[in-house]
Amino acid sequence: MQSKSLNHLNDSQHDAVMHNEGPALIIAGPGSGKTRVITSRIAWLVENNTSIHQIAALTFTNKAAAEMKTRIFSMLGSTPLKFLPNIGTFHSFCAYILRENTELLSVDKNFLIYDNYDQISVIKRALNDLNLDSKIYKPQMVLGLISKSKSKLETVEIFSKSISTAFDKNIYQIYKNYQEKLIQSNALDFDDLLVNAYFMLSSNEEILLSYNNKYKYLMIDEFQDTNFVQYKIAQLLSQEHNNIFVVGDPDQSIYSWRNADITNILNFQSDYPGTKVVYLNQNYRSSQNIIDASQSVISENQNNYNRKITSADQGTGNLIITVEAYDEIEEAEKIASEVNKITESEEIKLSDIAIMYRTNAQSRAFEQVFSINNIPFQLVGGTRFYQRQEIKDLLAYIRLIININDDSSFLRIINTPTRGIGKSTIDKITQHAYVENISCYDAAKSLIDKKSESISISTGPAKNVNNFIEIIEKIKSVSTNLPIDELITQIIQTTKYKDYLINNLSNPEERFENIEELVSSISNFEPADPQNKINEFLESVSLINDVDSMNEEIEKLTLITLHQSKGLEYDTVFLTGLEDGTLPHILSFDNELEMEEERRLLYVGITRAKKRLYLTRVFKRGGWGKSEVKSPSRFLYDIPSKLVIGHKVSKPKSNNQKTNRYTEKHENKDIPKIIAGDKVNHPSFGKGIVISAVNSIDDIELTIAFEENKGIKKFLYTMSGIIKI
């Protein structure tokens, strides 16, 4: 009887799953069933007398990890997989290793994991301590430099040895101050989870051996997205048995800005001699036309595997539709019209449709137009639930109660709700904390008790700070005996947070609903250790990313960046902003490697589509307060015309366009003479009068005032469907 784990596998998948000992590299194209391969191999190993506790499977999102666990459970059906720390993200796995060995760390077992908000808050305080200008040393930029250093295993000490400029020296001082503040707050950031795990494993032979013995098989999904430190951790974890099984696709490497290193997958065979290589070239997601379009785009990259990908069961499929618009508003309007058409005429749900774009700023026009047209949508990467103000506030109270040294939470809530504690007072507290190397909470108590000879707080503010301390102490004194819902109720009542919401913030009813949802989410949270529920919950919240927060069950269209779309799929995809300077991004023009990554980004976007793919572009796009003419994306020229219906572009003599010129010719268009005062009819807006008509390279740029209060709009004649009447 054939193993259940081997059911429904093609020959290549079967070959990969049946690999038992030694290193393996699985080059898995889009939609080729890589998750099926990983989960089937885990199930197959378990069916062949390997304990699931001997397998570590790592990926990059909680969503992917959850899907992996669900599939394994359906195959094996017994183990409560959600409690297994060895199947999850790199960060959660490293957090697990650290909490098991906190005696070797500078933080204790209940350390917090600081998210981006917390990190930026710490950077700002570091800049203030060091009297550095935040306009020069922009917090997000500084955090990026620190993160890049950590991803290369450059500790503060190592960084100090490479200082060559005054700028480097200041970054070093910020980095040093930043790390000191994290330790003071009993906190680690995302990079610290990886860096500390690496140094713990590499410096302690006993601990390394214990995890090598514990995990006989190591499996890594999306291997092309690993950075240097993740790769080094993988090498350490697999060095005893050499059973490292990695799945990835170099053509989908799009996170270099997040320090991902494509050479990890490109050099895998040389790093692991005797590697078994399996290619998964059957695509179970997309039609052949979509696959062919994606292949024609990625084949232009120098660094690609040049594979022949075939559609397993979707057939040739629909032609790819290209759409041109005058500007981003018309682009959104045309897409809205098409969405309404396909959802009304065909059996397709809004949740099967995604609008994808290169930068977050592009979502504005879609949000505006879809709201006007009553098209429900969810914005991935918008203000996530756990990032909403009222949720962050209440979580900060909880965090401070369980960790009084959490400076980030202290500073967030010391004057929330407002209690008469101004910036000057807070600055004195942080200054005293910095000088004395103590927490902000202890610094506040010290200043109230007048223990500082150099810094003092006047009577009024001191009384207000003391009131805050008393509130925290009161809540803290009862917190251990209260279930979480009652604890949050206690916080709201003691702090008068309800009055604050009603009197100071917009949409108080909605915010109370969010708080109810917070209580519910904590109450329903199932921890591995019931005695450590709150800490486990806080860790899970810290490790949530944009895609994890998506709700695929609601009937809404999805607005999402191309970077966020990796690993997702939709029946219908609109790839927008296909202009030079937008995609590819203007910052990539002078860097061949970055241009190749932009091409891979488009490749990822194309391969998210199952049945329908739209490619849209505009003539003019706004930015920095002005609108400029855009030329078609050079990537459009790589897609064979036979795959496309709609406006086609002809390849210019030089493909190295770096100027924003509209290069397409509409030589076969019969363009009438249109002047100001002419009456015209538009297919969507009806009758209107031309206010101005400006010639623009084989086209006419029209400004039209429409009847029935439909406003003034701009179009290119050849893109508009306008008829002169």
In angstroms, the CA 514 to CA 657 distance is 49
How far is C-alpha 426 from the geometric centre of its chain's CA atoms? Answer: 33
Identify residue 689 by its one-letter amino acid code. Answer: I
- Give yes or no for a contact between 177 and 129, defined as CB atoms under 8 angstroms apart: yes
In the block, tokens 């899907």 appear at 67
Active site residue 221: yes
Q: Which of 34, 556, 612, 621 is catalytic?
A: 34
Nearest of 467, 533, 519 to residue 488 by alpha carbon: 519
Active site residue 451: no
Nearest of 26, 62, 20 to residue 42 by alpha carbon: 20
Q: Which of 192, 222, 330, 390 is catalytic?
A: 222
How far is C-alpha 307 from the geometric centre of its chain's CA atoms? Answer: 28
Q: Return the bridge partners of 205, or none.
A: none
Active site residue 35: yes
In angstroms, the CA 555 to CA 350 distance is 6
Active site residue 192: no
Active site residue 232: no
Q: Which of 63, 608, 610, 714 is catalytic?
A: 608
In angstroms, the CA 86 to CA 35 distance is 16
Nearest of 269, 342, 346, 192 to residue 24 by alpha carbon: 269
Nearest of 207, 214, 226 to residue 89 by alpha carbon: 226
In the block, tokens 């996170």 appear at 255
Tokens for 185, please give them.
């707050």
In the block, tokens 């770096």 appear at 658
Angle at 360 between CA 355 and CA 364, to 5 degrees: 75
Q: Which of 189, 191, 192, 221 is catalytic?
A: 221
In angstroms, the CA 110 to CA 532 distance is 9
What is the distance between the terminal CA atoms of the chain, rounded to a whole angstrom? 75
Nearest of 320, 326, 160, 290 to residue 644 by alpha carbon: 320
How does DSSP classify residue 388?
S
SS3 585: strand
Q: Which of 35, 343, 387, 703 is catalytic?
A: 35
SS3 85: coil
User: For the chain, give me the number of helices (H) and strands (E)?
Assistant: 27, 24
Mark 310-333 as b/e (b = at least 16 C-beta within 10 Å). Answer: ebbebeebbbbbbbbbbbbbbbbb
DSSP notation for 184-211 = HTTEEEHHHHHHHHHHHHHH-HHHHHHH
Return the sign of the alpha-carbon dihedral for residues 35, 36, 37, 39. Answer: positive
How far is C-alpha 424 from the geometric centre of its chain's CA atoms? Answer: 36
The helix (H) or strand (E) run that includes residue 463 is helix 459-479
In angstroms, the CA 220 to CA 113 distance is 23
Active site residue 34: yes
Nearest of 659, 664, 648 to residue 615 by alpha carbon: 648
Phi-psi region of 614 (alpha: psi -120 to 50; beta: other; left: phi over 0): beta
In angstroms, the CA 583 to CA 359 distance is 9
Instruction: Please identify every residue annotated as catalytic.
Output: 34-35, 221-222, 252, 608
